[in-house]
Amino acid sequence: METLNNIPETYLMPNGLEIDLDEGFVKLTERQFGGNPGRAFSELIQNAIDSYPIGTSWEERMGEISTGPDWISIKDYGEGMSTDRLRLLITLGGSDKFNDPDKIGQFGMGFMSMFNRKLGTKEIVVRTRCEGQTVQLTFRVKEQGKRPEISLCILQERIPFSTMIKVQFEDSFSVYDCLVSAHKSLTYYPCKMKLNGALFISCWEKPGQRDVKMYAENGCRGLIRNGKELDNITILCKYERVMKTSLNHFLTGGHNAHYDLEDFYNNKTPYIPEIEMILNTDKLHVTISRDSYYLDWAYYEVRSILIKHLKSYLLREIINGVSGELIIANQFIFRNEIETYLANPASIISNPSDENKLIEKLATIQVFRINGRIGKYSLKELKKMKRDNFPFYFSSEKTNLRWLGGSFKHDYIVIPEMCRINGGAAHFFESLFSTIFNDIVNLDTIRGNLKKIMELVEREIISKESLSPKTKIVGIRNLNPQEKNLLKEIDLLLSDPAIMNVIEKNLHMKVKCIETAFFTVEETGCRISSGLFDQNGKPLNEKFISNFLQKTDENENRELKVSRNTKILLGLNLKHPFIQYLLSVHVARRNFYGLTYLAHELALCQKMLVPYSPFYHVVKQKLAQDMRKALIRNLLAQINN
């Protein structure tokens, strides 16, 4: 065996990186595992596992960890070390594992991390088989934070193991830190490792795991079991723990994440609450710190394998019985696949994989209620029950089930339960039902969706008249003296020819007279203060004006002229707070204040009275401005007189 006389000061790695031992020693030992120095012992566990020849199965690899009051040791039964490996061991950054797919470590920095000052390492003794001899390397720390003194000797004794590393500390606390880290690491390694004489049982071998799903596919091994932690997936590379995170984060890689069910929809991944996953792959490319990984082809490959087995796990859970909310959450996620199945069931039935069985189950399981009917219905049944020319109606908030008094054409109204699992998703039921049924109406939001309302009118699903709130003119006999007096005061102003002219000009019609009247509104929640009505008490719309217009001769630029005069009513909502206020005050010229306010409100109120009609565009701000000017002139004339 070649004698190791000179310990190299620098080492040129195969990738061209030259490492200076003096400069790099403190930085490495202080920073690599600065927050958890005990993790350095996990590096020795990796080295022990890596000591076996290529092709040795994980289950055949063995080791022993022993502890004392102030020391810890680890043995392996692998190949030992050659002279070159001994040189690499004492060289910062020295490694022959670089890009070796069968080895856990790669960067040659694990052993030296045992000299972290926070561990208080006093001495490390390495005994190993080296080219037919037993070699002992001793690393003595003279001053914490400085390079240790290294000595080498050849032992005459034969050792019954391949390599043993024994670390002595200044106190027992470091032994405890190393044991904690060892427990975390050994949890995931499927090797036969003894800890103080007792065989450590890994997560892959724990007895009594009845509900655990285990799988192995294309270099990937994993398990899915019950669990309640938010960070519910542990990522391993060659059984070394890389990261523990949430499934949301793993699926998105932390990019463009919504952290709700949208993440699962975008990645076609089932949502399953209260599970824990452990996922190992030999191909994952980890960062130099080995606490993260690259989002490359290896990541996407292992992710697709996990998703496949999550679908199988969810199918089993559904068969055993789950909540309706969980079913609906996964219907949202797989809505495109369900739509494909409903369009062509034979395509899925002919290929009875777990993935296809899951889609069929989600499409046929009964979870939805219909307003006024007993029982529950599946998406498949709802699709079959709906006529092609009618929209699919739903109301999750159940606040508008009697929209328009129920006078809209429909087969049924679905009242789905709200889905709050994992934060739900924006526009949850709109996304689900529009994919499955295409033509949908959300009764909870339809009142503010004028475009959809006009579409329903054009399709004759609803009538224009049904959109107007129910109003009723209050007869003069039903009014008290105060109410009659207010009407007389406003009528007096409306008889002013200047005000009449303003109204005629803005409404494009000849007005015989304008009278005021009180009306009531049956609809709750309507804040309508005023409106224009015909003499029969119906709100004015574009049809009313067209009845009084006729085309003129082409020589008159095709303008519209009024053919005859008409009588209209200016309605005042008797229950409106402002009208009630006018009735309660007794001040001079309250009619001026009242009419000024009502002119300002008229356009908005008319839109609420006839939401389907463009007539409210006629009653716009111009009318309010011109009427205010006319009122001011009238008021000034009274003052001057």
- Asked if 630 and 505 touch (Cβ cutoff 8 Å), the reply is no
Domain C-terminal end among 292, 307, 322: 322
Domain closes at, from 302, 322, 342: 322
> How far is the C-alpha of 365 from the C-alpha of 615, rounded, in Å?
49
pLDDT above 80: residue 218: yes
Is residue 35 predicted with pLDDT exceeding 70?
Answer: no
Residue 254's pLDDT is what? Answer: 83
Residue reference for tokens 């190993």: 128
The answer to the question of residue 370 being in a domain is yes
Identify whether residues 454 and 317 lie together within a single domain. Answer: no
Pair (622, 531) in one structural domain = yes
User: What does the pLDDT look like over 286-305, one tens digit per residue?
Assistant: 887 778 889 999 999 999 99
* pLDDT band, residue 467 (cuts 50/70/90): confident
- Give the domain extent around 422: 326-467
Higher-confidence residue of 210 and 519: namely 519
What confidence tens digit (pLDDT) does each residue in 394-447 have? 999 988 888 887 888 899 999 999 999 999 999 999 999 999 999 999 999 988
pLDDT digits (tens, 9 = 90+) for 11-27: 455 555 555 555 556 66
Looking at beta carbons, which pairs linking 131-139 to residues 24 or more positions away fall under 8 Å? 131/1, 131/82, 131/83, 132/1, 133/1, 134/158, 134/159, 135/1, 135/81, 135/86, 137/86, 137/89, 137/90, 139/115
Residue 112 to residue 119: CA distance in whole angstroms: 12
**Mean pLDDT computed over 94-106:** 46
pLDDT of 609 strictly over 80: no
Single out the residue in 199, 226, 248 at which a domain terminates: 199
pLDDT digits (tens, 9 = 90+) for 251-293: 998 888 888 999 999 999 999 999 999 999 988 888 877 788 8
The number of beta carbons lying within 10 Å of the beta carbon of residue 81 is 22
52 and 178 in a single domain? The answer is: yes
Domain check: are 172 and 31 in the same one? yes
Token look-up 């082409």 returns: 554
**Alpha carbons within 13 A on the beta-carbon side of 533:** 24
Task: Summarize pLDDT for 475-518 with one digit per residue, the tens.
Answer: 999 999 999 999 998 888 888 888 888 877 777 777 788 889 99
Residues 501 and 610 placed together within one structural domain of the fold: yes
What average pLDDT does the segment 591-620 reach? 71
Same domain, 340 and 269: no
Identify whether 205 is part of a domain.
no
Q: What is the pLDDT of residue 641?
A: 65
168 and 242 part of one domain = no
In this structure, the answer to whether residues 605 and 584 fall within a common structural domain is: yes
Q: Identify whether residues 375 and 450 lie together within a single domain.
A: yes
| Of residues 287, 304, 288, 203, the one with CA closest to residue 250 | 304
Domain-located, residue 2: no
Average pLDDT, the chain: 83
Residue 1 lies in a domain: no
Residue 554 in domain: yes
Q: Residue written as tokens 């050994």?
A: 186
User: What single string gives the DSSP state of each residue in 518-568?
Assistant: EEEE-STT----EEEEETTSPBP-HHHHHTTEEE--GGGTT-EEE-S-EEE
Asked whether residue 552 falls in the same domain as residue 500, the answer is yes
In the chain, the number of structural domains is 4
Alpha carbon separation from 383 to 334, 392, 572 (Å, rounded): 16, 9, 47
Does residue 497 share a domain with residue 451? no
What is the pTM assigned to this prediction?
0.73
Instruction: Tally Cβ neighbours within 10 Å of residue 228.
Output: 9
Give pLDDT tens digits for 556-584. Answer: 444 444 445 678 888 888 888 888 988 89
Is the pLDDT at 553 greater than 60, yes or no?
Answer: no
